[in-house]
Amino acid sequence: MGGAVVDEGPTGIKAPDGGWGWAVLFGCFIITGFSYAFPKAVSVFFKELMHEFGIGYSDTAWISSILLAMLYGTGPLCSMCVNRFGCRPVMLVGGLFASLGMVAASFCRSITQIYLTTGVITGLGLALNFQPSLIMLNRYFNKRRPMANGLAAAGSPVFLCALSPLGQLLQDHYGWRGGFLILGGLLLNCCVCAALMRPLVAPQASGGAEPQGPQRPSPRLLDLSVFRDRGFLIYAVAASIMVLGLFVPPVFVVSYAKDMGVPDTKAAFLLTILGFIDIFARPTAGFITGLKKVRPYSVYLFSFAMFFNGFTDLTGSTASDYGGLVVFCIFFGISYGMVGALQFEVLMAIVGTQKFSSAIGLVLLLEAVAVLIGPPSGGKLLDATKVYKYVFILAGAEVLTSSLVLLLGNFFCIGKRKRPEVTKPEEVASEEEKLHKPPVDVRVDSREVEHFLKAEPEKNGEVVHTPETSV
């Protein structure tokens, strides 16, 4: 079974919207949890790594940065691998890489070696799992796709709430080396999830073994034609601007609370509140987007989610006590969950199934640049001003800008272009009936036809001698 047939999406394949798709959704839930939560959960081991190698916090923070950079920046590579080999083989190799990186890191003797193993190898393995899992989810769900995306996206906060305490427990009992080794074994579950990604097969034709729909013998490894789509360009620009400020508040909110004099335990509890709200916000946003009356406007709902998130950042900058930060985390968790549930659903709706594997890789590459710029730029602003308020204002302004780019771009560049297609055939038929009113019941008798043929012999190839033709 060739990967090209599966990845090009033959016309005979219809999304089952259930059945084995629920197993695919479960696997995507786990993969999403590992991909997004693992870079944050590894930070539990940073203090012991600092003591082991005699380095500073900024040196250990590069581990999470490299993990995220690999997750986002290898998007085109993942797209080419999926289009060449298929989703399941790529995910199996990715699961092995993710596990091998953590196991090898447990034997490292320098921080540079950990950068290579935990950062590069494990990051590449997670990337090879994350993107193909979303592609498979897109193929198995169509009508229920918004709900499926919301449920899969909920894996990120669930695993974050689970992996962080687990990492602390492993460090207390086995040290950072033993913890890395056990986490490496845990990442082998990515291979189990890969086994669940059963490819869809085109149905057999009634008279033979040929599958329905044309097969494409030479698929593109990376379809750059998506850049001709206005919708994709607007989405890519908006998403890149959004990522500049989206991840900044969770990075600085704990330090913001400590700067107010809040105890460490209470300050860390803010992230727990944010994650708990996020768990319920993502599936809820998916269910709402899946409603028949709401789904056609999913792009506008995504724009509203970004606007809500940016506005929350601006109001959070005015918090003056711990209670204000708690309220901020509640509303940020809601808006953050909405963004997480809708971002890939909207991209799927814009580019379609066939181009999604290439589109998501290119979008993740653009977002990788923004991920590496956003939090460091917030840190530099904080170093220059020593005021957390300005960091939140900057993040809010960036996310608000992205929402306006998506909203105005979709309304003026995409909405008007697609409006003529909305005309219902019933309306067209009614207009034609008003202009051309044919007889209600027109019947032709055979005797009338015979009489007409005799009267018009030239219709049968005979020559008619009329006064005009005789002359």
User: Residue 50 pLDDT more than 70?
Assistant: yes
Q: What pLDDT shows up at residue 402?
A: 94
Give the 3-state secondary structure of residue 56. Answer: coil
User: Residue 125 pLDDT more than 90?
Assistant: yes
Confidence of residue 218 (pLDDT cuts 50, 70, 90): low
Cα distance between residue 23 and residue 251, in whole Å = 33
Backbone angles phi, psi at 189, to 5 degrees: -65, -20
Q: What pLDDT shows up at residue 415?
A: 58
What residues does 211 pair with on adjacent strands?
204
User: Residue 278 pLDDT more than 50?
Assistant: yes
Q: What pLDDT shows up at residue 428?
A: 43
Cα distance between residue 279 and residue 182, in whole Å = 26
- CA 361 to chain centroid: 10
User: Residue 429 pLDDT more than 60?
Assistant: no
User: Residue 242 pLDDT more than 60?
Assistant: yes
Give the 3-state secondary structure of residue 262. Answer: coil
Report residue 432 as tokens: 């034609």
- The chain-wide mean pLDDT, for the chain, equals 81
User: Residue 335 pLDDT more than 90?
Assistant: yes
Give the 3-state secondary structure of residue 211. Answer: strand
Confidence of residue 466 (pLDDT cuts 50, 70, 90): very low
Count Cβ atoms below 10 Å from residue 413 Cβ, excluding itself.
13
Q: What pLDDT shows up at residue 443?
A: 54
Residue whose pair of structure tokens reads 């198995």 in the numeric block: 140
pLDDT tens digits, residue range 69-114?
888 888 889 988 988 898 999 999 999 999 999 999 999 999 999 9
Summarize the confidence of residues 25-37 as an average pLDDT.
93
Summarize the confidence of residues 293-311 as an average pLDDT.
93
Summarize the confidence of residues 197-210 as an average pLDDT.
67
Summarize the confidence of residues 265-293 as an average pLDDT.
88
Cα distance between residue 129 and residue 143, in whole Å = 24
Cα distance between residue 9 and residue 354, in whole Å = 6
Q: Which range has highest mean pLDDT (8-12, 118-122, 275-279, 409-413)?
A: 118-122
Q: What pLDDT shows up at residue 416?
A: 53
Give the 3-state secondary structure of residue 109. Answer: coil
Q: What pLDDT shows up at residue 6?
A: 35
Q: What pLDDT shows up at residue 447?
A: 57
Confidence of residue 414 (pLDDT cuts 50, 70, 90): low
Tell me how far apart the terminal alpha carbons of the chain are, to the nearest angstrom: 76
- Looking at per-residue pLDDT, the higher value among 234 and 464 belongs to 234
DSSP letter string, 386-418: --HHHHHHHHHHHHHHHHHHHHHHIIIIIIHHH
Backbone angles phi, psi at 211, to 5 degrees: -70, 150
Q: Where are the alpha helices (DSSP H) in 106-247?
A: 111-114, 122-140, 145-153, 155-186, 189-196, 230-246
Q: Provide the residue count of the chain.
A: 471
Q: Which residues contact 430 (CB under 8 A, 6 or more apart)?
A: none
pTM: 0.73
- Looking at per-residue pLDDT, the higher value among 135 and 451 belongs to 135
Cα distance between residue 463 and residue 469, in whole Å = 9
Confidence of residue 3 (pLDDT cuts 50, 70, 90): very low
Q: What pLDDT shows up at residue 445?
A: 55
pLDDT tens digits, residue range 443-460?
555 555 455 445 544 444
Summarize the confidence of residues 238-257 as an average pLDDT.
87
Summarize the confidence of residues 145-150 as an average pLDDT.
89
pLDDT tens digits, residue range 174-188?
999 999 999 999 999
Q: What pLDDT shows up at residue 388?
A: 85
Confidence of residue 203 (pLDDT cuts 50, 70, 90): low
User: Residue 126 pLDDT more than 70?
Assistant: yes
Q: What pLDDT shows up at residue 309?
A: 95
